[in-house]
Amino acid sequence: MRKGSLFGVCVLVVSLAFSPSGWVQAQTIKIGINAELTGDIPKVGEGTKFAAQMWLEDMKAAGGLAVGGKKYPVELVIEDNESKAESAVKAATKMITEDGVLVIVGPQASKQAVPAGGIANNYKTPMISPWSTNPDTTKNRPYVFRACFLDPFQGPVLANFITAEFKFTKAAVLYDVASDYPKGLAEFFKKAWEGLHGPGSVVAYESFTTKDTDFSSQLTKINNSGAQVLFTPQYYNEVALIVQQAHQLGWKKPIVGSDSWGSAETVTLCGKDCYGLFFSTHYAAAGATGATKAFIDRYKAKYGYVPDDVAALTWDSLLIVQKAIQDTGGLAGDLKKDRESVRVAMSQIKKFKGITGEMTFTGTGDPIKCAVIVRISDAGQFEFYKSACP
Amino acid sequence: MVIFLQNLVNALQWGSFYALIALGYSMVYSILMLFNFAHGDIFMVGSYIGFGVSMALIALASSGVLAMPNWLILVLTILFSMFLTSFVGMIVERVGYRPLRDAPRASAAITGLMIGIILETGNLALLGARRVSFPSLIETMTYDMGGVFVTNKKIMIVLVSLLLSFALHQFVRRTRWGMAMRAMAFDFAVVPLMGVPVNTMAALTFALGSALAAAAGILFGVAYPVLDPYMGILFGWKAFVAAILGGRGSVLGATLAGFLLGFTEIFVAMIFPSTLRDLIAYSIILLILTFRPHGFFGEPYSARLRL
């Protein structure tokens, strides 16, 4: 009796120890969702969760994820990172080591995504952050990806857009020399513009310092420089002042901005002066077409509000994950090998058509993708105008 | 030429703010020998009070209780806000400076900095970090005069600030109160013996300076309709420079120096790269002060008498 039970335990232990973990994995594909469900930015976590659940519905409706002619059921492991760096690390570690996820989606904010990316990279598990724009998230981390563009990227995108849209050859730039984001973007724009139109084609490169409110001298210079367009990568409070003063000084040409314009405050502060202007951003809900519109409508019908850029980027991230898994051509059943093959497949995704634009990965974690150009409509809404590519 | 004229217009508007704020500094400095470092923040408070008053008046007008045109709202906003802000100035004087009148000057200057911080953070606590959009009370009309663009707001700002400076000048020169102020500037110790109520005069000085700062705040809101709690700091410093440059005790000097400061900033940015604007502009001012340490209209002997 005692012998028998001991034998039974032995069999159980041995069978557990030897049963290939991949055997279980082959049955279900687990995707980790590392989301900011509580803490400072719960709305971000909510959008992440809702988009992920919509994707899961699709998978279930299709009867699972087809990889190499075989259908695998999909499971989501959703963990709350409390909008804290240390909790994001904990959640990532748990998903990788305990839950055995194949891929992690999230965290969203760079504060969480940078440390969590380190964990994913150490454990050689692919991770994609939909929303983190900080270069450090993916820097020197072959296993970490993102679905959005990096800040400096908007410079060339806007230079191309202005050239193609208006056929302009002379641009002016006005930026805050004391702030990293505008300064960096101004430099990247200048470089890209001069690459397109030759040295000296940025006819006015004017700056001010944070807290300045009067730009009349700089704008007078710009007005008389022969510039055809003004680029100003500023935050919403300065945008209002710059645009209004430019108009009061007789500037009637286009003014173009970057994703820092994308706050509802921009229109509140700027008013009618900002109507009809353009800026680049990740995604625009108003005036969307095709798959983007389908996603927005579905999300809105299900959850009662228009999804923000986080939800849209999360959706795209999951589709990238799906495509990468499918591109492997078949799962080996060994988690370590499969994670590696998903990483390789993801880093080679070409011309992926996402709802936030077309993305191509060239071996690094940062996609080459198109930005969305938004036009501020005559009703003061951010309207999709076109997508612009570098 | 067009560029020059355009910048002349720009500089007139920009200088108006410096002039109005510098007047408040200059008065307090000359009469009480005190650097009121909270003055820039009183300018900010004045701007916010103007915002509140104008919103209230707009609500009153649109509800039909008291129909009035927008220009009248603006005039009333300026008058009410000047009145209300003068009390802020008097409170600052009573609470912050009067107890320290016989303390070393450095203590009073530091008090000013602290009051400034209290006003800034108090506003932040009250209204939050969100920027406030000053209501546009008058429609902006842009006139194209041969390539030089002038707006009705610019004209109004320059005229109002010149008018207020002139009014203050007349007040100081022509009234008994003004005479008492000049006497205090001349000799603070003897004047009370002549029966001049020093405390009342100090309060009056602060009230006048604050009222002018409030006017500047509202004009600022009209021209640059984005208000934030820290908008007064840099303005305060620069206007302080203008007050020193104008010379102690001179209304005319402070006004002129305010405009000069505006001109320097605008024209330096016109000629040199705008990144170097303040560096060059304030080096020039420093150079001027090296050669005229008492400013344009300063009276060295009265300063010597006081010290």
DSSP A137: G
Provide the domain limits for residue A209. 152-281
> Does A158 share its domain with A135?
no
DSSP A8: H
Tally of domains within chain A: 2
pLDDT of residue B305: 41
pLDDT of residue A92: 95
| CA B7 to chain CA centroid, nearest Å | 22
> Does A143 share its domain with A165?
no
A212-248 pLDDT, tens digit each: 889 999 999 999 999 999 999 988 788 999 999 999 9
Q: What span, in angstroms and rounded, lies between the C-alpha atoms of A313 and A316?
A: 5
3-state secondary structure of A37: coil
Q: What span, in angstroms and rounded, lies between the C-alpha atoms of A50 and B243?
A: 60
What is the least distance, in Å, from the CA of A207 to any CA of chain B?
6
Strands (E), chain A: 29-35, 65-67, 70-72, 74-80, 103-105, 127-129, 144-146, 171-176, 202-208, 229-231, 255-257, 278-281, 352-354, 357-361, 367-369, 371-376, 382-388
In a domain, A74, yes or no: yes
**Omega prior to A107 cis, within 30 of 0:** yes
> Does A143 share its domain with A156?
no
Q: What span, in angstroms and rounded, lies between the C-alpha atoms of A232 and A182?
A: 8
> Does A223 share its domain with A305?
no
Interchain CB contact of A175 with B (< 8 Å): no
Interchain CB contact of A250 with B (< 8 Å): yes
Spell out the CATH class of B2-135+145-306.
mainly alpha
Please judge whether B10 and A214 are an interchain contact, meaning their C-beta atoms are less than 8 angstroms apart.
yes
In a domain, A20, yes or no: no
**Residue of B10, B12, B139, B222 best to disrupt the A interface, most CBs of A under 10 A:** B10
In a domain, A374, yes or no: no
> Does A133 share its domain with A173?
no
> Does A105 share its domain with A157?
no
Q: How many other C-beta atoms are found inside a 10 Å radius of the C-beta of residue A301?
A: 8
Please judge whether B6 and A249 are an interchain contact, meaning their C-beta atoms are less than 8 angstroms apart.
yes
A40-44, A200-204, A206-210: segment of lowest average pLDDT: A40-44
pLDDT of residue A21: 47
Please judge whether B10 and A241 are an interchain contact, meaning their C-beta atoms are less than 8 angstroms apart.
no
What is the least distance, in Å, from the CA of A265 to any CA of chain B?
9
Structure tokens at A175: 């930026």
In a domain, A242, yes or no: yes
Q: A154 with A372: CB under 8 angstroms?
A: no
A310-329 pLDDT, tens digit each: 899 999 999 999 999 999 98
In a domain, A16, yes or no: no
What pLDDT band is residue A106 in, cutting at 50, 70 and 90?
confident
Interchain CB contact of A207 with B (< 8 Å): yes
Please judge whether B225 and A269 are an interchain contact, meaning their C-beta atoms are less than 8 angstroms apart.
yes
B92-102 pLDDT, tens digit each: 999 988 888 88
pLDDT at B164 over 70: yes
Q: Maximum distance among all alpha carbons in chain A?
A: 100
What is the rounded average pLDDT of the residues B54-59? Answer: 92
> Does A206 share its domain with A320?
no
Chain A hits for B144, Cβ within 8 Å: 250
Which residue of chain B has the CA closest to A247? B142
In a domain, A389, yes or no: no
Interchain CB contact of A265 with B (< 8 Å): yes
> Does A143 share its domain with A260?
no
- State the SS3 of chain B: CHHHHHHHHHHHHHHHHHHHHHHHHHHHHHHHCCCCCCHHHHHHHHHHHHHHHHHHHHHHHHCCCCCCCHHHHHHHHHHHHHHHHHHHHHHHHHHHHHHHCCCCHHHHHHHHHHHHHHHHHHHHHHHCCCCEECCCCCCCCEEEECCEEEEHHHHHHHHHHHHHHHHHHHHHHHCHHHHHHHHHHHCCCCHHHHCCCHHHHHHHHHHHHHHHHHHHHHHHHHHCCEECCCHHHHHHHHHHHHHHHHCCCCHHHHHHHHHHHHHHHHHHHHHCCHHHHHHHHHHHHHHHHHHCCCCCCCCHHHHHHHC
What is the least distance, in Å, from the CA of A366 to any CA of chain B?
33
pLDDT at B4 over 50: yes
> Does A360 share its domain with A248?
no
In a domain, A381, yes or no: no
Q: Considering chain B, what is the average pLDDT of its residues?
A: 88
> Does A258 share its domain with A189?
yes
What is the least distance, in Å, from the CA of A123 to any CA of chain B?
42
Q: What span, in angstroms and rounded, lies between the C-alpha atoms of A352 and A358?
A: 5
We report the CATH number of the domain holding residue A229 as 3.40.50.2300
pLDDT of residue A4: 55
Overall residue count recorded for chain A in this entry: 390
ipTM entry: 0.86
Domain boundary among A263, A281, A299: A281
In a domain, A187, yes or no: yes
Residues 6+ apart with CB under 8 A from B179: none
Please judge whether B3 and A209 are an interchain contact, meaning their C-beta atoms are less than 8 angstroms apart.
no
pLDDT at B307 over 70: no
**Whole-prediction pTM value?**
0.77
Please judge whether A220 and B270 are an interchain contact, meaning their C-beta atoms are less than 8 angstroms apart.
yes
A332-353 pLDDT, tens digit each: 888 899 999 999 999 989 988 8
> Does A40 share its domain with A137?
yes
Residue from A42, A110, A21 nearest A308 by CA: A42
Q: Maximum distance among all alpha carbons in chain B?
A: 61
> Does A36 share its domain with A115?
yes
Domain regions of chain B by residue span = 2-135+145-306
